[in-house]
Amino acid sequence: MSSFISLQNLVYPSHELSLTMILLEEWSLTYVEGIDSKKYLQSQLTIDMNLLSKTHHTLCAYCNFNGKVSSTMHLFHYQKGYGYIQRKSISKIQIEEIHKYSIFSKIKINELNNMFLVGFAGLNARSFLLNFFIKIPDKNCSVIHENNTTILWYREPSERFLLVLSFSDFLILKRKINENIFFNNSKQWLLLDMEAGFPIIDKICSKRFTPQAINLDKLNAISFKKGCYYGQETIARIFFKKINKYFLCYLTSTGNIFPEIGVFIETQINNKWCKIGVLLSIVYVKSQEIHIQVVLRKSIDVNNSFRIYGFKNIFLIRN
Which amino acids are annotated as binding site, given as ranges?
Answer: 27, 189
Measured from the Cβ of residue 35, the count of other Cβ atoms closer than 10 Å reads 12
Q: What is each CA distance from 122 to 11, 101, 106, 138, 183, in whole angstroms? A: 12, 42, 42, 15, 11
Give the residue numbers of the binding site for folate: 27, 189
In contact, 283 and 186? CB cutoff 8 Å: no
Positive or negative, the CA dihedral 295, 232, 139, 115 is positive
Q: How far is residue 47's CA from residue 56's CA, in Å, rounded to a whole number?
A: 13
Nearest to 59 by CA among 192, 240, 242, 196: 196
In contact, 159 and 73? CB cutoff 8 Å: no
Q: What is each CA distance from 146 to 79, 99, 136, 287, in whole angstroms? A: 11, 30, 9, 38
Hey, is 47 helix, strand or coil? Answer: coil
Q: How far is residue 133's CA from residue 199's CA, in Å, rounded to a whole number?
A: 30
